[in-house]
Amino acid sequence: MKPRELMAEAVRARRRAYAPYSKFPVGAALLTRDGRVYHGCNVENASYGLAVCAERSAVWQAVSDGVREFTAIAVTARDGRGAPPCGSCRQVLNEFAPHLWVYWRDARGRILKRRLSELLPMAFGLRQLRAR
């Protein structure tokens, strides 16, 4: 699936965002190795700190469905606002897919594309836990 197509899925996912406090709806589309797409949106709460990002919503959705192999994620916020994944989401994505492709858009709407390993270099992960 092309970045543009995955981004179109993220735009669809964003429609379900629940963001009454920040008024910053975010959508994510997570592509699985076998070609399925899981949507995620941010879900906020009156207790502000409990907000969950779109990217993590997509990961929870996929993992709950028994899927853990991912090849790409597309993220979108309001038009004209770039939205690369936040640090917490980078860490969560790294758990399952350190070489994931990450797509987001710049302020002019062009799709930017980076490997997660570039967005989260020298990540802490399972390997560190196992090392003696």
Residues assigned a catalytic role: 55
The encoded tokens of residue 88 equal 């917490």
Instruction: Indicate the residue among 34 and 102 with the shorter CB distance to ligand THU.
Output: 102
Q: If binding is defined by CB under 6 A, does position 26 make contact with ligand THU? A: yes
* 102-23-105 Cα angle (round to 5): 25
Tell me, by CB under 6 A, how many residues bind ligand THU. 14
Instruction: Indicate the residue among 26 and 116 with the shorter CB distance to ligand THU.
Output: 26
Q: Where does this chain touch ligand THU (CB under 6 A) — which range of 2-10, 61-69, 79-87, 120-128? A: 79-87
Residues in Cβ contact with 130 at an 8 Å cutoff, skipping those fewer than 6 apart: none
Instruction: Indicate the residue among 30 and 53 with the shorter CB distance to ligand THU.
Output: 53
Pairing of strands 70-76, 111-115: unpaired
Which spans in 15-53 are helix H?
Answer: none
Side-chain-side CA neighbours of 90 within 13 Å: the count stands at 18
Note the residues at the interface with ligand THU (CB under 6 A). 19, 22, 24, 26, 42, 44, 51, 53-55, 83, 85-86, 89
